[in-house]
Amino acid sequence: MRFFFLLFCFSFLSCAVFAQRLPKPKALPQGATEGYISVGLLMNAWQYIGDIQSGAKFIRPGATLFVSRKVSAHWHTRLQLSVGRLEGDDATASPTSGVYARNLHFRNDFKELAGLLVYEWKGSYSKYTRRSSFTPYLMGGLAILHHNPRAKVPTTMGSDWIDLQSLGTEGQGRIGYEKPYNKVQITIPMGLGLRFRTPDKRWDFAIEVLPRYTFTDYLDDVGGEYPDMADLANPWSVALSNRTLEATQARNNAPRDLGQIYTKFGEPVSYVGFDGLTYQTLPDFRRGKDKRGNTQTKDLYVSYGFHLSYILNVGLKCPQARW
């Protein structure tokens, strides 16, 4: 982490200082590489991969703004800000599967600030006008993610979307359960792309794929075991924790075939909590019987997109890396 942070600070701050001393670009020494700063817009699509049913139908649009600095013939640094949405819904799984019976869904509008190192396979030497016309590239770095998973309440309770983290749908924050997960997370972006130089020497076009590997299992609010519903804080937590017996899909108001679910997974069972209230669920979808999510893996998300970038400042006499 410290390496990436120091590299970005050194690259951009030193460029700003040296650029002020150079009223116009000068001829480069033989074999030298010209540094430059570019800015760009990346139009992308986001896909979530985690515990809740997902797939191509849940890919959602987003956007990224970035500034990039060339630091050697092969290496660039990039700082970028992204916004997007992640989604998933168990209702799209096979009607005979346990995922369909679980009946959870979410959407998550997020913001991400990332610092990346970009390695271009074909090096670009001398002035910016002689940079490679086409090159594959690799990229990796660190990112800070702010996310907020939400779900639609059962149709019997309205039609609103409600924040899930504060509800503690797996008992988070209650005695005997884990602490609430954090809405701010560190992620590791690692991906690849293809860059093309346009006929106008200052513009580049690129396509890229950039997965983000996370340290959380709660981009979808699902990652642990079912709680004892009597332990939950309020009726909203109970309603959004265990949705196996809902007769209607909350996202699209389509009916669920509960008869088929009961045939495969058993008739609902009742139990009385320590609070004296009676709760119902499918036999295996309760605390101590089955897990609500996969506790062995973390969630991840991926951006697919293309970008246009424009070279703003050239002739920068920044210290050049030799790698």
Could you tell me if residue 40 is left (phi over 0), alpha (psi between -120 and 50 degrees) or otherwise beta?
A: beta
Residue 170 one-letter amino acid: E
User: Side-chain half-sphere of 282: how many Cα atoms within 13 Å?
Assistant: 26
Tell me, what CATH number does 56's domain have?
2.40.160.20
Strands (E), the chain: 35-49, 60-70, 75-89, 105-120, 134-146, 149-152, 161-163, 184-197, 203-214, 269-272, 278-281, 300-316
Name the burial class of residue 175, with classes exposed (0-12), middle (13-18) and buried (19+) by CB atoms within 10 angstroms of its CB.
exposed
Report angle CA 274, 279, 280 to the nearest 5 degrees: 150
User: Side-chain half-sphere of 98: how many Cα atoms within 13 Å?
Assistant: 11
- Of these ranges, 19-23, 106-110, 251-255, the one predicted with the greatest mean pLDDT is 106-110
pLDDT above 60 for 194: yes
pLDDT bracket for residue 7 (50, 70, 90): very low
Q: How many domains are there within the chain?
A: 1
Name the burial class of residue 106, with classes exposed (0-12), middle (13-18) and buried (19+) by CB atoms within 10 angstroms of its CB.
buried
* Entry pTM: 0.85
Is residue 191 within 8 A of residue 139, CB to CB? The reply is: yes
Whether residue 177 is contained in a domain is answered as: yes
**In terms of residue numbers, what domain contains 268?**
2-316
Q: Which one, of 279, 285, 241, lies nearest residue 266 by Cα?
A: 285
Whether residue 98 is contained in a domain is answered as: yes
Whether residue 322 is contained in a domain is answered as: no
Mean pLDDT for the stretch of residues 29-36:
69
**Pairing status of strand 105-120 against strand 269-272:** unpaired
Whether residue 323 is contained in a domain is answered as: no
pLDDT above 80 for 87: yes
Q: Please count the residues of the chain.
A: 323
* DSSP 8-state class, residue 104: -
CA separation (Å) from 173 to 121, 178, 226? 48, 6, 14
pLDDT bracket for residue 14 (50, 70, 90): very low
pLDDT bracket for residue 47 (50, 70, 90): very high
pLDDT tens digits, residue range 272-315? 888 888 999 999 898 888 789 888 889 999 999 999 999 987 76
Is residue 34 within 8 A of residue 126, CB to CB? The reply is: yes
Whether residue 93 is contained in a domain is answered as: yes
Whether residue 321 is contained in a domain is answered as: no
Whether residue 108 is contained in a domain is answered as: yes
Per-residue pLDDT at 31: 52
89, β-bridge pairs: 105
Whether residue 61 is contained in a domain is answered as: yes
In the structure encoding, which two tokens stand for residue 167, read together? 């509800």
pLDDT bracket for residue 66 (50, 70, 90): very high
pLDDT tens digits, residue range 116-173? 999 999 988 878 888 888 999 999 999 999 999 999 999 988 889 999 999 999 999 9
